[in-house]
Amino acid sequence: MAEGSAAVPSTELLEWPKKDKRRFLHAVYRVGDLDRTIKFYTECFGMKLLRKRDVPEEKYSNAFLGFGPEESHFVVELTYNYGVTSYDIGTGFGHFAIATPDVYKMVEDIRAKGGDITREPGPVKGGTSVIAFVKDPDGYIFELIQRASTPEPLCQVMLRVGDLDRSVKFYEKALGMKLVKKVDRPEYKYSIAMMGYAEEHETIVLELTYNYGVTEYTKGNAYAQVAISTDDVYKSGEVVEHVIQELGGKVTRKPGPIPGINTKITSFLDPDGWKTVLVDNEDFLKELK
């Protein structure tokens, strides 16, 4: 046998991410006052508080909020660490996005409740889509996008990357995502790639942004990760290891159960250091019950 040939993965293994049952579960990030953020998201964005838990022995609390049940919707998982009132968001994290039938009305509602509007509603530069930007109490930016209807109002996580083609390949190969849309805007010196498991208006997408000539960003300590479901964390973890050897990144947790709750997960960093956690589908549903 030729040296190193044993390490070559089978075609069947590399095809696994595309056949696997995957969807975005939640985005995890840290906030300085859990109740303040819950109030803002429920009153200004119209999210529902889905569950909340306090873990005093580990000195943290978290809350899950979204526009529908966790079994079928992408949600946010807010983490409050006892005594920590602020975090550094860094330069790499971009924004979350919410789709709404009327951006103008939503902005007025948010303004009336004391929200911080960082971009007034109106069409995007050189286009017709109506958007606005709002800052939450911790400084996280939310883009509001006008869409007549959508099954998934919480519809984007935007992250900045240093090499767009490398990132697209990574998310296609390691996570089985599709390149849903790619836009190059040389006049504004940036390109974006929308990555997801269905078309942009049907689901949540990861919006990867490349700013010309910028290869590195600071991560800060505020945004943590996205979680994605899988039917087999072990097989998925094996694929991720192969893709990391090719494109870069790092496994941060080998596949296996979390002590105490037994949900099987694996976690890793992409070539830019953005973290993803893969969570066993059945274990996740058991956890919700």
Supply the residues annotated as catalytic.
143
Is there a contact between 42 and 137 (Cβ–Cβ < 8 Å)? Answer: no
Helix, strand or coil, per DSSP, at residue 268: strand
Q: Please, what is the Cα angle at 170 between 166 and 174, to 5 degrees?
A: 170
3-state per-residue secondary structure call for 164-210? HHHHHHHHHHHHCCEEEEEEEEHHHCEEEEEEECCCCCCCCEEEEEE
Q: In what order do the strands lie in the sheet with 178-185?
A: 116-123, 130-135, 141-146, 93-100, 154-160, 205-211, 190-196, 178-185
